[in-house]
Chains A and B, each alone.
Chain A
Amino acid sequence: MTAHDSISSRTVLSSADIDRALTRIAYEILEANKGPEDLVLMGIPRRGYPLARRLAAKIAAAAPGVDPAAITGQLDVTMFRDDLARRPTRPPHATRVPVTGIDDKVVVLVDDVLYSGRTIRSALDALVDLGRPRIVRLAVLVDRGHRELPIRADHVGKNLPTAARERVRVRLAESDSAATGEAAADEVVIEGPA
């Protein structure tokens, strides 16, 4: 158990911090788009999707007349990854596109952590096969740096300077409760060698 003992973990974002960050991002998205017209939020599984749903709810609260369910989708990028042959087999998740489609829409990709940028590259490829959006933007809860591709986020919840050997863990009530049975509280934790 020595491996476990030497791991330190600290909470960098609490549940309230996450909520405030998402509220700000929701307003930023509305401001950048000059309103809710043509907005589609595509969450990347697993944790990007619940974040997209929360953002859509906040956008709907700020812009009356928006149906949050109608502007939210899920975009699976598994089959578009560049490391399929290097990692254990990943089962794909579902891709769900809002009924309006994404052609000529302003698509905001939503993910929990932006790191190498490779997931977002896969997401851009996956998006091309679904249609041709007018604009694609990127919103992430945490940007931890260490980019390996020329990709940046338009909306960031928090910039977290990290070491490459540290791990950033995002826990969300929607995606991380079922496994343990008890309701998980939202938090962002950095784990690393002590």
Chain B
Amino acid sequence: MRHLLSTLDLSRDDALAILDTAEQMAAVGEREVKKLPALRGRTVVNLFFEDSTRTRISFEAAAKRLSADVINFSARGSSVSKGESLKDTAQTLAAMGADAVVIRHGSSGAPARLASSGWINAAVLNAGDGTHEHPTQALLDAFTMRRHWARLHGTESTGTDLAGMKVVIAGDVLHSRVARSDLWLLRTLGAEVTLVAPPTLLPFGVESWPCTVSYDLDEALATRPDAVMMLRVQGERMHSAFFPSVREYSRRWGLDDVRLDRLDALGLTDTIIMHPGPVNRGLEISARAADSPRSTVLDQVRNGVSVRMAALYLLLSGENSTERTAEEQPR
């Protein structure tokens, strides 16, 4: 592994290596000294062209716990607003000696461009690109599910996958890079996935994806899922009317109090409710559902730091990281 760009091309072994390493990283977060010296002297740049709170802070915390130096770069207030291109920005970061670039960009494929262009010789971590992928979010979701799945089966989570787990992902699939990354990774790990969305919020070609597609959330809940992931309705990406009204969306595709109670009525005591955040309370999920004991929203945030530590460690330590590639390249 040299970059982390997508979960589509992440092998099962690499995915398990990241999740297993994240288990050890999670233990560090519970110690008195929450810091490891593994990436001392390395520089991680957070290059954010889109707004983000938790992903940027999570990557920053992860890099700092591994003793790396962190440079935060947000497009707002930088030369990007003066019209600087991605190439010039990347070469500037390269000249500053960045060992890893964590990039969030509004255009799908920007991280892959950065990784393959030769502009910068650093590990590239995709922190969300357009409507394409958000691999570390999928990894932290899988990590959260795996811990839940292992606890249900009374086993250690290290080394196991999600074989047999049933996951419902509901909401704005069309604009969601999380849904895509989650789907590829969960399939790689052996889980069954059902996508639920209004027809207008499903992407073109979804019938060829390796999952079941449903327009009806109640129907999907009746299949007794082990985890229900509610996606945020991405108002900022919606430039036309995808559903008649907020109330109608909430009634038909939101996890409201009625559906929360139905989970209990169905006897689904071990079904968890997940959300990648930020939560639109009252739209895709009710406040009571988001704060219920089933909700793993805060676990997901906590696990995000562990998973990102694992990804940074695996990409930046070892002879296959930046140093050797620097020798291989003639210039």
Contacts and interface: CB of A to CB of B under 8 A. Distances in A.
Chains A and B form a bound pair:
yes
Contacts of B317: 84-85, 89-90
Given A79-B37, A91-B17, A85 B323 contact: yes
B314 A89 contact: yes
A95 B20 contact: no
B37 A125 contact: yes
B37 A80 contact: yes
Nearest to B321: A85
Contacts of A80: 36-38
Contacts of A76: 24
B303 interface: no
Nearest to B42: A85
Nearest to A89: B318
Interface in B1-25: 17, 20-21, 23-25
B319 A85 contact: yes
A5 interface: no
Contacts of B23: 94
B24 A94 contact: yes
A122 B150 CA distance: 32
B319 A79 contact: no
Contacts of A90: 317-318
The B contact surface, by secondary structure, is loop
A46 B38 CA distance: 19
Contacts of B38: 78-80, 84
B33 interface: yes
Q: How large is the interface on A (under 10, 10 to 19, 20 to 34, 35 or more residues)?
A: 20 to 34
Interface residues of B, number: 24
Contact of B319 (A78, A86, A91, A129): A86
Nearest to A82: B37
B320 A88 contact: yes
A91 B311 CA distance: 11
Contacts of B36: 79-80, 129
A87 interface: yes
Given A125-B37, A129-B35, A95 B321 contact: no
A131 interface: yes
B318 A85 contact: yes
Contacts of A85: 317-319, 321, 323
B153 interface: no
Nearest to B322: A85
A155 to B, nearest CB: 28
B321 A91 contact: no
Given A87-B318, A89-B320, A94-B27, A79 B32 contact: no
A80 B67 CA distance: 11
A132 B313 CA distance: 27
A150 interface: no
A136 B313 CA distance: 29
24 contacts: A80-B36, A84-B318, A85-B317, A85-B319, A85-B321, A85-B323, A87-B318, A87-B319, A88-B318, A88-B320, A89-B313, A89-B314, A89-B318, A92-B24, A93-B24, A94-B23, A94-B24, A94-B27, A95-B24, A95-B27, A125-B37, A129-B36, A130-B32, A130-B33
Interface of A: 76, 78-80, 84-95, 125, 129-131
Given A80-B38, A91-B20, 6 more contacts: A78-B38, A84-B38, A85-B317, A93-B24, A129-B32, A129-B36
Interface of B: 17, 20-21, 23-25, 27, 31-33, 35-38, 66, 158, 313-314, 317-321, 323
